[in-house]
Every structure is written in structure tokens, then in C-alpha cells.
Amino acid sequence: MTIILQTNTSETRAVTKNLTTIATKTGTLRQETSIIDPVFTVAGALSDFVGCNYCTVADFGRSYFVRNIRSIRTGLVELTCHVDVLSSFANEIKANRGIVRRSQSADTYNLMINDGSLTCYQDPYILTEPFPDGFTGTTFVLAVAGG
Amino acid sequence: MAYGFISSLYGGVEIGTCDIITSTRLITYGRVGGNLMGNADFAAAVADIRTRDVYEMGANDSFPNLCWRFNTMNRGGTTVLYGYFDGYTQYGSSYRQVMSGVPVFVSGQTTGTSWAHVGVYNATIRTNPGSTPRNALVILWSYDMPVEGAYITTSWTVSVSSATSLDSWLLAYPTSFGVIPEDPYAPGGISEPGGGDGDFDFSSTDIPIPALPTTGAYDTGFLTLYAPSANGLKALAQYMWSGTFDPTALRRLVAEPMDVIMGLSIIPTITGHPATTPATLMVGNISTGVFMEQLTEQYYELDCGTVTIPPKWGAYLDYAPYSKLSLYLPYIGYVNISPDDCMRGEIKVVYHVDMLSGTCTAYVYCKSNRGTDGHTLYTYNGSVACPCPVTSGQYGSLITGALNIAGAAAGIATGNPMSIATGLGSIAKTAIDAVKPEVQRSGQTGGTAGLMGIQYPYLILTVPRLCTPADQDKLVGYPSYVTVDISDCTGYTEIEVSHLEGMSCTENEALEIIGLLKEGVVF
């Protein structure tokens, strides 16, 4: 079993992560563990794990956020992980369809949809626009009986 | 037969179902009333009637079309009699002819052991034993014959309904007809599917500005309108106060010579209007020798032109209730119109002016960005006439009128902002602008006040000032509601609904994925 220790500099909600490999550890899984929230006990100097916040375990078919690094004793480090579902199943997710409610992409969002999310200042613009024509003069009008 | 309530023959009102009575279920008897039966036969007939729903009278009586009675046995209440045919129905000891094809609705309240209605039935009956059964709306009422040969009915209170439709009767006699409202709390509930039956046709027909009237008081010949200059009026005044003017000649036409002057006012004009022709002023058919322009038209139209209304933000903020649109209309004042009517479109204002009465009508013609047709959506009226008094009485009225106008205040807040806020509970961030109170921008601006006011219309557009932080699109995105292939998504995206298929993850992982998509992810 191989665990690739990595540093993830992308935000956790990114589907595609920007990863830098720190080290690769190979060994045998000696005790039970969950593949969703695995806890790995890995041999190695603690310095090997500094900067590690992400790992990939090909045998589990998943990538993980490292939530905790605990030194058991010299040369033995425990990693508490949680599956990164977005990266682990990115291709399968992208094969689906969905209804977008908010988007960064101008190809998708529509500012005419009123969801109350636009914030305004209290002082509005007051704009005036005259019409091209109006009354241009005046005249007396005298009404008399008969004709 | 079910003693229930039946399908109506009129208007398709369904009030229940029952069996159709066929002729095989009709039993013919002789007349019950009138002692034509012997006691034994009578008793047997009664006993048989009590077991049947409908029976038919014989045709050999003196009432050839008296044909049917119905048995419900010991049911009291309000009796409703109905006949549909060319025949007679009997109630009490009287007979009422039923007009062909015209339903006659009669109700009666029985006392004692007599006829009592229990229901309206859809049935086939015959007008006589040999006739073809016909569909009918018929009534069943109870029947109890206490004694041989006695008429069944006792005290009747009969009223004739003016209703000519079953629906009206259903409303008037709900208990008789057994209209039972649905219990919304019953286990079966009362909800039902529906909707989706719109015609989806959003085309519209243009509502144009109307043409000027073709008929006016000016056409009667009883008066003439002139457009005098100031010098012309002075010349007229000199004439009327001079020795040349003979008031006695006018007294053959009017009580007071000044009555020939029906009115003098100042009217706003436009180029080419009013149309005039040179003439000698005639007062009461007496030539004054004063030359002035005589009007050849009573009405004229002023087209104030068109103003386009482009959006300022290209967002929902450009529309009501966030943006507000007012119009100043000369001789009318400030009016509020909805930006929804013309946003991304245009507004056109047209005046029609009546120079005799001084009345003006302003039409506001709006065209939005939806479709190509515009519509006359607003109509306002005012007064363009500024009266010029020629008598002391007219001067007093002028001052009084001016004082009344001055008393109308401006700047009054109108409307209830709280009521607006109530309807905007879910629109939180931009609701503040929407609940600002409306302010009245002017009082009355007609007549002389209008003459001193602005002579052209103009728009006042109030638009909220948008506050957009940096990178709002990347951090929280903008509103959307489209279905997409998730593979096409870029940047920050919140996906409302996604039935995830083809996933190899566990259930908990799938739920986490759906939750994350709803909260927003970055592609």
C-alpha cells in the first residue's frame, strides 16, 4: 500500500486540487480502518510529515484531507484523514447534470433573477430626463355666443 | 335507486349520481286522489308504492299528462317539485302546468303527513304510459297515505322560485339538494393536481393613443372661438365700452350684454396649433369691426416625443420595487408609473387639448423590451385653461380657485412602507430601498398654476446605488437558474439540484457531495 503525502494549496472546495508531493510511503495495512475517515500509522520521521495536509491512497481510490498529525513515538506518526469527495469522484460528478443557483461564470448567471443578494447603499441615484417637446407658447381664447 | 343526488342536466353541475330509472321500473296506477280506487286496491297500491322508487300514474284521468309521483316514505322537509315536460305536475290540490323545455321550480313546505322532498334525481320518465321515456330532472318526495282516497297533501306553503337554473336552486336550497361541502380534514384530503394549462401565449395587441374627437361644441354654431392678440382684446374692450356698442340689440338674445362673452382664457399652444383664420369678431351676430384670428379647430394634439429607458444596472434593481419612475406632466403634475412598463424600452407622452373647456388628457404610451407592441398604459387629465376674468364675479371665482389650489400641500409621504416590507420578507438585502415611503412631489398644477410651471414633461428615475465588493463573482457568485452539464461549470458554482448517477462512492460520500455542491464548489 502506498500513501502519497502532499501539500494542497487549493481551497478545500476546489474540485481540482493544486498538489505538491512531499513524500511517498509504502507499507502494509496492518489494522482495520475506514476508507472514508482512515487513520494511518506511518513509520517515518515527524519532519517528513510537516507541511502535509493532503494525501492520496491509490489502493482506496481516494484522496484525503489530513485533519490531524499525531506523533506516536519517535519514528511513528499517526495521520487522521477524511476523504476529499470532490477530488476523489471529480470525473463522476462532472458526468452529471444539475441546476445552478449561483455562478461565477457570465455564461451561467443572470442578474435579472431576483434572489435579494445584491446589496445597495441607502442613497439612490435621482436621474431626470426631459421629453423632446412640450408646450411652446400661449394664446388667448375668446369664446363668444353666436358666430 | 340511490337516494342520493344526481347529475344535473343543466350547466354540467355534478351533484351526485343515481340510477337511471327505466320504464321497466315504472308501475302504472290509477289516480290516487279522487276516490277512483277501491279500498283494497288502494291499500295494495300503497303497499306496492312503498316498495318502489317511482310510479307512474295512468293516462286515463282528466289530467292526461299527470304522470308521475315518487316515493320516499316518511321523509319530511322542504319539498321541491320540478317538471320539465309538456305536462303537469301536481302539488297539493292544484296543478301547475310545466312549460315545454322550461324548468319550473317550485318549493313547498309540508306539514303533517304529506309530500316531502328528499332529493333531485336524474331519471327517465314518461309523460304518459305510451310515451317514450325521456330524461328528466325529477324530484322524489315522501308519500304517506293515511286514509283511503284522501288527498295526501295538507297544508302547503308553496313558493315559486324565480331561479331558472339548477345551479341557482342548489344555492338556494342546499339542504334540500344535499350539497355537502368537502371536509378538508377527512383522511382522503382534498388536495388535487392541476395547473399547467396556460396557453403560453405572451403576444399582445397594441393599444394606440386615440385620435382627437371629431365632434365638439364648436360644431354647434352656438359659439365661436377666437384667438385674439392682446391688442385685439383691447380693441374689443374699447368697442364694448364705446357708444358704438348697442346693448339693446343684444338684449334680444341675452339678458346681459356681457353674457355674449362666454369666456376668456389663456391656453398653451404649440407650433401650428391652434389653427386659425382671419375674421371679424362677431358678438351675438353683431359685427364689432374688430379683426382677430378665429379658431378653426376645438382640439389639438401635442406629441411630446419619446424617451428611451435603458437599464442602469442590467439587473433586477432596474425594476420595481427597487427603481422608481415618476413623470412630470404639465398642467397635471407628478405621476408615478412602474419602471416594469418601459424598462429597456421607451415612453411616449401625447396630450389632447380641448381649447373650449381647457381640459387636457395626457396619454402615456409605454413599450418595454418584451415584444414589439406598445400600449397606452396610463391616462391622466388636467386643465390647461388659465381663466381671465371679464366680470367682477369671474374675478372673485378666480381668486377663490387660486386659494383652493394653494391649500393643497406637497411633500406628503404617501403609502405605507410597512405593507411593502411585509411582502418582501424574503428579499432581505435590497429591501431597504423598496420600503422607502413615497413622497408627493406636487399639489395641483392645472390652470394658472400650470401656466407658471414647466411646460414640457420629464422623467424622474430613482435607481438604487449598487454596492459590489471585489471578487464577488469568485467568492459568492451571482444568481442563476439554469440546468447545465456539470462538466461545463467553471469557477465558483452552487448547484441546487443534482441527482447523482453513475457514482461509485458510498451513500455518505454521495450525500456529502450533494451538500458541497449546494454550498458551492470551485471548478
Mean per-residue pLDDT, A133-145: 91
ipTM: 0.92
3-class secondary structure, B253? coil
Q: Is the CB of B245 inside 8 Å of chain A's CB atoms?
A: no
**Residue B124: what residue type?**
T
Q: What percent of chain B has pLDDT over 70?
A: 52
Q: Give the C-alpha separation, B418 to B436, whole Å.
A: 9
Residue B93 has pLDDT above 50, yes or no: no
How much is the pTM? 0.64
Q: Which residue has the cell 418582501?
A: B424
**Residue A132: its chain B contacts at CB < 8 A?**
304-307
Residue B183 has pLDDT above 50, yes or no: yes
Would the CB atoms of A119 and B516 count as touching at under 8 Å?
Answer: no
| Residue B489, C-alpha cell as written in the block | 461549470
Distances (CA, A) of B17 to B142, B146, B335, B337, B468: 20, 32, 58, 54, 65
CB B325 within 8 A of CB B338: yes
3-class secondary structure, B167? helix
Please give the mean pLDDT across all residues of chain A: 93
For B224, which of A116, A126, A146 is closest by C-beta distance?
A146
Would the CB atoms of B267 and A138 count as touching at under 8 Å?
Answer: yes
**Residue B196: what residue type?**
G
* Burial class (CB within 10 angstroms; exposed 0-12, middle 13-18, buried 19+) of B455: middle
For A92, which of B385, B483, B502 is closest by C-beta distance?
B502
Residue A60 has pLDDT above 50, yes or no: yes
User: For residue A130, how far is the Cα from the chain centroid?
Assistant: 48
Per-residue pLDDT at B184: 73
Would strands B375-383 and B223-227 be described as parallel, antiparallel, or unpaired? unpaired
Per-residue pLDDT band for B182 (boundaries 50, 70, 90) equals: low
Q: Is the CB of B500 inside 8 Å of chain A's CB atoms?
A: yes
Distances (CA, A) of A135 to A113, B107, B351, B502: 41, 70, 10, 72
Q: Is the CB of B360 inside 8 Å of chain A's CB atoms?
A: no
Mean per-residue pLDDT, A56-61: 95
Would the CB atoms of B466 and A120 count as touching at under 8 Å?
Answer: yes
- Chain B's closest residue to A133, CA to CA, is B304
Q: Is the CB of B459 inside 8 Å of chain A's CB atoms?
A: yes
**Residue B515: its chain A contacts at CB < 8 A?**
none
3-class secondary structure, B250? helix
Instruction: Give B201-229 pLDDT, tens digit per residue.
Output: 877 778 888 888 888 877 777 788 888 88
Selected residue of A17, A62, A86, A101 to mutate for chain B interface (largest B Cβ count, 10 A): A101
Residue of A38, A85, A86 whose CA lies nearest to A66: A38
Q: Is the dihedral of CA B239, B241, B243, B246 positive or negative?
A: positive
Per-residue pLDDT at B401: 64
Per-residue pLDDT at B323: 93
Per-residue pLDDT at A146: 73
The Cα of B509 is separated from the nearest Cα of chain A by a number of Å equal to: 6
Q: Give the C-alpha separation, B145 to B31, whole Å.
A: 13
| Residue B167, C-alpha cell as written in the block | 345551479
Beta-bridge partners for A64: A55, A83
Residue B250 has pLDDT above 80, yes or no: no
- Chain A's closest residue to B505, CA to CA, is A89
Per-residue pLDDT band for B403 (boundaries 50, 70, 90) equals: low
**Residue B522: its chain A contacts at CB < 8 A?**
10-11, 13-15
Per-residue pLDDT band for B124 (boundaries 50, 70, 90) equals: very low
Per-residue pLDDT at B180: 46
Range name among B54-63, B187-196, B240-249 with the lowest pLDDT average: B54-63
Number of Cβ pairs closer than 8 Å across A and B? Answer: 356
Q: Is the dihedral of CA B325, B329, B335, B338 positive or negative?
A: negative
Q: Give the C-alpha separation, B66 to B126, whole Å.
A: 10
Would the CB atoms of A101 and B495 count as touching at under 8 Å?
Answer: yes
Q: Give the C-alpha separation, B178 to B16, whole Å.
A: 9
E strands within chain A? 2-8, 19-26, 39-43, 54-57, 62-73, 76-83, 97-103, 119-130, 137-145
For B513, which of A93, A132, A140 is closest by C-beta distance?
A93
**Residue A95: its chain B contacts at CB < 8 A?**
486-487, 501-502
Per-residue pLDDT at B261: 82
Q: Give the C-alpha separation, B118 to B175, whole Å.
A: 10
Instruction: Give B17-41 pLDDT, tens digit per residue.
Output: 222 222 222 223 333 333 333 445 5
The Cα of B215 is separated from the nearest Cα of chain A by a number of Å equal to: 17
**DSSP-assigned states of every residue in A49-92:** TTT--EEEEGGGTEEEEEEEEEEEETTEEEEEEEE-HHHHTHHH
The Cα of A46 is separated from the nearest Cα of chain B by a number of Å equal to: 30
Residue of B294, B281, B284 whose CA lies nearest to B234: B281
